[in-house]
Structure 1
Amino acid sequence: MAEESQRAYRAPCPGCGAPVEFRSAQSTFAVCAYCQSTVVRQGETLARIGKMAELFDDFSPLQLFTAGRIQDKPFTLVGRLQYSYAGGRWTEWIAALDGDRTGTLSEDNGAYVFSLPLALQQAAPPATALRVGATTAINGQSYTVASNEQVQLVSAQGELPKLPELGRPFTVVELRSDKGMVLSLDYGSEPPGAYLGRAVRLEDLQLAGLRGESAKEDKGRSFNCPNCGATVTVNFDSSKSITCRNCSSIIDLTQGIGGELRHAEQDEPVRPLIALGTLGTLQGVQWQVVGFQHRMGHAAGDDEHFGWDEYLLFNKKRGFSFLVDAEDGWSMVAPTTGAPTMAQGGGAATYLGKRYLLQYAYNAETTYVAGEFYWKVERGQATSNRDFASGNSLLSMERSPNELTWSSGDKLDSATVATAFKLEAKKEMFKRADAAPVSSAARLGCGTIILIVVIILILLIILSTCSSSSGGGYRSSGGSSGGFSSGGGHK
């Protein structure tokens, strides 16, 4: 520790006199922990350039001075930046690395991405030229534009290598590759900054100094529903939507809860098979159901509609995943960091070296929601979806005007889902049309099996007669419906 403290720089805050410390040589700015003054380092002194707004508490397990390792190299979280955009807000943590480098540990669709600055070989394209869904090459690598948003800095904490002007809008473009990489282009500076990263799990970062479990319990926020007046409690400050348990109204949290809240009433409530708040263990991880949405879909030119349910699951270190309940079975998916490459015509997609074939293409609409969501969810939200599969592995795309998101995961056996949430008594209600013939037969009674055999024999006799008399055949249209996953994306 002695060597660490010798490398740190400390000076009194020009606002209140409290000590302000810089641990990274790359840090130029800092926010005083005592008076929230924003200070800039000028040689051996600090100059006050303003005052920072209060942080939104996001109930993250991370905090300043949390230490960990990435690719076997140590890092320490020394700063935090909070941004807002039309859909809500997100947080970036500044990580001081060995060798005086800095990285960023940021939220990404309910999970985390660790990024490092990237030197661009050519000037970044104009932000207006990067349309959502378009592909472009950066440093010789092909990327798909996933989002193009106007953002602004709303608050900061600790020491920082950059500090956009508070409240000044600028553009951030996110691009993703089929190798699982995410590239952020920050147009808040000239030239634009570039940061390249990939998904990480907090549990793999060997973190020390995380926040205590009590932090969330101590700081839960409650307010009165703007529709019925009932008490509504927000568990995650990063939530952008929540529903009232009393009247089912959807409440918009993107502007905070201090002013008049926008809300939308919902009729015909849907009862989830798995109740909100239920804990369950899937794939060796304990999850809590924090959100639920019912969605409807239909293929272009087809009048037939189909529906499915999505449960939003949360784990403190894994972030968010989706448990999807569709006609053709259960699945568990999570947003991908990268963007798969679709074949021309969209009949196949490749991601991380694996090829998936198109199963369904359809338009989707959210018809009912309950619980809390990390994106701004609305009744009637519409997306264009494509679902791909490779064996039991799934890959799904959702596209809206401002965002392109992908999710990946695997099919789950219905009995596994029922057992995971301790709902074995209702396991018959979990069964779906994806049951394999062998496993289905094992659950059928003897009378049912005999009846099936008789029907098969009758059909064989009829087909044999038709074949000998007309010499013709038949073909089936084989239509199917129901998307197995939409996955959700959303910053």
Structure 2
Amino acid sequence: MTQGACPSCGASVEFTVGSAQVVVCGHCQTMVARTGVDLESHGRVARVVETDSPLRLGLEGRVNSSAYQIVGHLQKDHGAGPWDEWYVEMADGRTGWLSESEGAFHLLFDAGVEEGLELDALHPGDRLRLRNRPLVIEERGHGRVVAAEGQLPSDVDSSQDAYYVDATGPRGLFVTLDFGTRDRDPEVFLGQRLELSQLGIPANDLRPRVRKATLQQARCTQCNGPLELRAPDQTMRVACPYCGALLDVSKGKLSFLKLLQKPDLPADLSLGMKGTLDGVEWILIGYQERSCVVEGTRYPWLEYLLYHPTRGFTWLMESNGHWVFLKPLAAGDADVVPQSSAYYEGRRYKAFQSVTAVTDAVVGEFYWQVFQGETAHATEYVAPPYSVNEDATDNEVTYTHGEYLTPEQVQAAFKLKEPLPEPRGISPSQPNTRRKKLMETLVWTGIWVVALLALSAFLHARALNAQVLDMLVQVPPGASSGTPATMHFSEPFEITRAGNVRVEVAVANALDNAWVGVQGDLVNQQTQDVVSFYEEISYYHGRDSDGSWSEGGNQGSVFLSTVPAGKYVLRTTTSYDPNLGLQVANRGGIGYRVRLTHDTVNESWLVIALVLLLLAPGLSLIGSTGFETERWKESNLQ
């Protein structure tokens, strides 16, 4: 540790960090540098201004089981308000930087210089591999140091505008490429994104957030309407809900910028409303109307900005009654094939649309310098009910992960008394409820099919399937069709139990453009009851303008329903096509075979049941497919 007196005012200064080369005098803001054993003045730097940061010099915390202490503080600005960067010393002797951005923190460590990397070659949305790590560039910007306090690793020059590139990688990896005033060979800082709760700082040690009291109950400079700012320490611009005036807040007071067009779409949620989503109570601080034009048609939607003191900002989007809850997503966590597909958390998202989104109107507070006419290239990838959304400008690309919400879910989240409007059309990430019904129908159909097959197997096992008669019938050559001369009687046979009977008739001689009909009668020898059947066999063929054709065959079958048990005789009477008369005379008559099988399973009932069962999933499939067809009709990337 080095102690001494400030060369400018004589106040005591000390160096406690071995790597610190400069300490800012707490009395006169002189940058005191140590050169060997001597201390010398390197000019003055402005005093830090109060911001919304919960951190302060001297705080101690623990990240990934490593203790650290905040020993230095820089404030930087790129013209839109300052942000804070904290110099930290780890218990193991390493030093790093803890930066803040829109409620998120990034702990970074120096990883040396990357030679050959050029600033002009890096653009938001680009993918690169650095130190064997896949990265996606999220932001390219610049800023200069405007204030400092505590111990620092080097001098600061408030006149220099330094350039940087921020990129993210998988599993929370965050990388800053600090080009300084150079255009190549940046210093590389590797680290991770953290939430406030992950900094390991006791809640009682955190600095109370500064509240800009003058802004909490401010009035519009144009119409004098009351403006209740709900996040005054984070807000940079506010759009008056009464007159549409856009006001700048970055300097700690309201200053008029311009009058804006009011939104055309009616807002279903109001400023100041609180709603619970993702287990957190958010407050609605602003909303904007955005739109895109596709094939000459304008498509507008509303985006509601939600704020939570520790979770930062998030979005709730509404379009045609469809709602999507959007949470910030590090670009490096999603593997994107531009305008084709995206992969996130093991799920594939299909590219749906790519448009130029324009900000048409704004109301309420915003954490960036929003303006009417602001444009961004928006691309959406969907895996209903989820989506990955990319918004890209020349200097920044942001990703969000969306989850589709029904109007009923939004109504419950914000405790609305009146129901929200019903959705119109189909949203890109709207879940296909018809597909869910299809899957349920398929499950039940599968259960019933198994049950039917089991029943069929049971019936097959129980059936006797006994052949009780196999008889050859020969009609004499001179017999006339349908006369007693064609009648034939079988030997007696027995049916041992009540059951069906399958009759099979096969003509011995090949038919040629003719028919043969068999009238059969099963005569019960005890009761004289008769069970009758008729089976006609035919075969026709020929040629027409469409070519050769044929129909029929030389055999057929018929099922007799339940036949009582008993002893029977089969009586057959044969009729035939008159054209067969000459054939009968020439061939020695007509011959055919009759087989009777008792108690066999008739599979027709199973076929009919299966067909009826398949109607339900078939209709569900048509509905589900139709839903997807309607969805993808709106895509401009497929």
TM tier, smaller: 0.7 to 0.9
Distance 1:481 1:310, change over 3 A: farther
Question: Mean Cα displacement is larger for which, 395-404 or 413-422?
Answer: 413-422
* Correspondence list, 1:243-322, <5 A: 243-253=239-249, 256=251, 261-267=256-262, 272-299=267-294, 302-322=295-315
Q: Distance in 1 between matches of 2:397 and 2:62?
A: 31
The aligned residue for residue 4 of structure 1 is: none
Shift of 1:306: 1.7
Secondary structure in 2 aligned to 1:426? coil
Q: Which runs of 5+ in 1 are unaligned?
A: 1-7, 442-459, 465-474, 484-491
Retained in 2: the 8 A contact 1:295–1:368?
yes
* Correspondence list, 1:33-48, <5 A: 33-48=26-41
Retained in 1: the 8 A contact 2:6–2:13?
yes
Shift of 1:388: 1.2
- Deviation per CA, 1:135-184, whole angstroms, max 9, x where unpaired? 33211223233222232122223222244411311211122335542211
Retained in 2: the 8 A contact 1:327–1:482?
no
Distance 1:265 1:392, change over 3 A: closer
Retained in 1: the 8 A contact 2:385–2:431?
no
Shift of 1:101: 1.5
Of 146, 152, 160 in structure 2, the residue corresponding to residue 154 of structure 1 is 146
* Correspondence list, 1:22-171, <5 A: 22-85=15-78, 88-120=81-113, 122-171=114-163
The aligned residue for residue 548 of structure 2 is: none
- Deviation per CA, 1:25-69, whole angstroms, max 9, x where unpaired? 222223333333332233455433222224343212222233322
Q: Percent identity?
A: 27
- Deviation per CA, 1:245-268, whole angstroms, max 9, x where unpaired? 4422112345x3579653343345
- Deviation per CA, 1:278-312, whole angstroms, max 9, x where unpaired? 2222212222222211111233xx22222222121
Shift of 1:232: 5.4
Q: Which runs of 5+ in 2 are unaligned?
A: 438-614, 620-627
TM-score, with normalisation over the residues of structure 2? Answer: 0.61
The aligned residue for residue 471 of structure 1 is: none
Secondary structure in 2 aligned to 1:417? helix
Shift of 1:382: 0.9
Secondary structure in 1 aligned to 2:206? coil
Does residue 1:242 correspond to 2:235, yes or no? no
Distance 1:47 1:108, change over 3 A: same
Retained in 1: the 8 A contact 2:245–2:256?
no
Q: Distance in 1 between matches of 2:408 and 2:10?
A: 62
Please identify the structure whose Cα radius of gyration is greater: 2
Shift of 1:351: 3.7
* Correspondence list, 1:79-478, <5 A: 79-85=72-78, 88-120=81-113, 122-188=114-180, 192-208=186-202, 209-212=205-208, 215-216=210-211, 220=215, 225-228=220-223, 235-253=231-249, 256=251, 261-267=256-262, 272-299=267-294, 302-327=295-320, 329-339=322-332, 340-343=334-337, 346-351=339-344, 353-423=346-416, 425-429=417-421, 434=430, 437=433
Q: How many equivalent residue pairs? A: 439
Retained in 2: the 8 A contact 1:227–1:263?
no
Distance 1:226 1:264, change over 3 A: same
Secondary structure in 1 aligned to 2:33? strand
Q: Which has the higher contact order (CA 8 A, sep 6+)?
A: 1
Retained in 2: the 8 A contact 1:314–1:321?
yes
Retained in 2: the 8 A contact 1:198–1:337?
no
Q: Distance in 1 between matches of 2:266 and 2:150?
A: 45
Shift of 1:71: 0.9
Retained in 2: the 8 A contact 1:241–1:377?
yes
Distance 1:295 1:18, change over 3 A: same
Distance 1:330 1:224, change over 3 A: closer
Q: Distance in 1 between matches of 2:418 and 2:335?
A: 40
The aligned residue for residue 487 of structure 1 is: none
